Amino acid sequence: MSDMTSITAPAAPALSRWANANEIPVIDFAPLSSGNAEAAERVAREVRDACEQIGFFTIVNHPVPAPLIRNIFRQAERFFALPEEAKMQVWMGRSNTFRGFLPMDQGASGTGTKGKAVAGFQNHLAEETLKARKPNRNEVFQIAAELPADDPDLLAGKPLHGRNLWPDGLPGFREDVLGYYDAMRDFAALLASVFARGLDLSPDYFAQFYRKPLIQLRLLHYLPHADDQAAMEGGASRAHCDAGGFTMLQQDQTGGLEVQSRSGEWIVVPPVENAFVVNIGDSMKMWTNHRFASTLHRVVNRYGKERFSIGVFANPDYDTVISPLPTCVDAANPPRFDSMVAGDALLYLYSRVWPSSAAAA
């Protein structure tokens, strides 16, 4: 083209394109409930291939009941519609276990470094990357396991073991959120068994590490932006890899979850109603000796409307010692690290990015 304006125009941020089903596979979980062992093996192989190639896939025909999913979105809408003041009653800075509300337009707000840094874990979060994080247009409400008041770990002040913060004035909210949490804990166990099969381990292999798991449930609300540039600002600076074992995400029909492909392109994970987007986190990457990919992703909401998503982060038990799985080590793939304690590594991340009432301690 002879038109020179394309050369003199300021560099535009690299925009994403919609992914196709070869890039983010859509995997049917119906065969898992058929009782047919061969069909279950096939699903496990499909899942494993997706984990090795991109670390992201979409699951259709899963066992989580559709009404539970509808309900959790409805509860997220109710919560985020509360006045800011009511949401700030459950501000995460009032919790010492990273539960509660995170308001919009916060930069990196970590208040210390606790836990333990691990080489190869959360590599993207160098000090410079953290500083470069821009305010964003999303707000979050997060819970973890609802422990009874006499729980021994809670009483002992074991990190990440505590109480959830619940807002006033939302009858039914706590029940529905906990109901979804429980259903997702079961679904996480099913997924873990599929990963284990794909890795030639016994199907219940991971169960020993998910006895009192640090699973988190996160409600997310993203506001629309004035234009693509504005949408990019916050979204792109917050590209990250998830830290836990794996993530199970429900997104509404807006779109906006973007994954970096191997060639460096940003591809949008197409929303499929009721389906889960599952991705591998750094803990599973470490477990599999980097055989499974924990892939950089971000949310760029440039579709002119608000967006809701519901993430469940399948983190193992605090004391889980992660070391390379025997089926992921051989002469061509020597161990890339010795071992790490899952809870210490998660605590290191959280204490750097989230507020805490324990900051002064």
Ligand X SMILES: O=C(O)CCC(=O)C(=O)O
Tell me whether residue 48 or residue 218 sits nearer to ligand X (CB atom). 218
**Shortest distance, CB of residue 218 to ligand X, whole angstroms?**
6
157 class by beta-carbon count within 10 Å (0-12 exposed, 13-18 middle, 19+ buried): exposed
Helix (H, G, I), strand (E, B) or coil at 27: strand
**Shortest distance, CB of residue 144 to Fe ion, whole angstroms?**
16
Partner touching 257 among ligand X, Fe ion, none, CB below 5 to 8 Å by kind: ligand X
**Shortest distance, CB of residue 240 to ligand X, whole angstroms?**
6
**Shortest distance, CB of residue 107 to ligand X, whole angstroms?**
16
**Shortest distance, CB of residue 353 to Fe ion, whole angstroms?**
12
**Shortest distance, CB of residue 117 to ligand X, whole angstroms?**
20
Tell me whether residue 197 or residue 258 sits nearer to Fe ion (CB atom). 258
Tell me whether residue 40 or residue 54 sits nearer to ligand X (CB atom). 54
The answer to whether 89 and 167 are in contact (CB under 8 A) is yes
Q: Whose CB is nearest to ligand X? A: 309
Question: Interface with Fe ion includes 46 (CB under 5 A)?
Answer: no
Spatial neighbors of 183 by CB under 8 A, at least 6 apart, are 64, 65, 68
Question: Interface with Fe ion includes 242 (CB under 5 A)?
Answer: yes
Token pair of 312 as six digits: 């469940």
262: left (phi over 0), alpha (psi -120 to 50) or beta: alpha
**Residues 196-235, mask of contacts with Fe ion (x by CB under 5 A):** ----------------------------------------
Only one of the segments 20-28, 218-226, 237-245, 317-325 lies at the binding site for Fe ion (rule: CB under 5 A); that segment is 237-245
The answer to whether 56 and 259 are in contact (CB under 8 A) is yes
The answer to whether 350 and 109 are in contact (CB under 8 A) is no
Question: Interface with Fe ion includes 258 (CB under 5 A)?
Answer: no
Cα→Cα distances 346→117, 120, 133, 185, Å? 9, 13, 19, 19
d(CA 144, CA 166) in angstroms, rounded, equals 12
User: Residue numbers of the site for ligand X (CB under 6 A)?
Assistant: 218, 220, 242, 249, 251, 257, 297, 299, 309, 311
Token pair of 333 as six digits: 């793939």
**Shortest distance, CB of residue 240 to Fe ion, whole angstroms?**
6
Only one of the segments 94-102, 152-160, 217-225, 241-249 lies at the binding site for Fe ion (rule: CB under 5 A); that segment is 241-249
Only one of the segments 61-69, 181-189, 239-247, 353-361 lies at the binding site for Fe ion (rule: CB under 5 A); that segment is 239-247
Return the number of other C-beta atoms located less than 10 Å from residue 271's C-beta.
Answer: 18
**Shortest distance, CB of residue 281 to ligand X, whole angstroms?**
9
Strands 17-18 and 321-322: unpaired
Tell me whether residue 249 or residue 349 sits nearer to ligand X (CB atom). 249
Q: Whose CB is nearest to Fe ion? A: 242
Spatial neighbors of 323 by CB under 8 A, at least 6 apart, are 335, 337, 338, 339, 340
**Shortest distance, CB of residue 194 to ligand X, whole angstroms?**
21
Tell me whether residue 99 or residue 218 sits nearer to ligand X (CB atom). 218
Strand partners, 260: 266
Partner touching 184 among Fe ion, ligand X, none, CB below 5 to 8 Å by kind: none
Helix runs in the chain, H state only: 5-8, 37-53, 66-80, 84-88, 127-131, 152-156, 173-198, 228-237, 282-287, 342-353
Token pair of 147 as six digits: 């422990």
DSSP 310-326: EEEEE---TT-EE---G
Tell me whether residue 173 or residue 187 sits nearer to Fe ion (CB atom). 187
Tell me whether residue 46 or residue 242 sits nearer to Fe ion (CB atom). 242
Tell me whether residue 220 or residue 328 sits nearer to ligand X (CB atom). 220
Q: Which residues bind Fe ion (CB under 5 A)?
A: 242
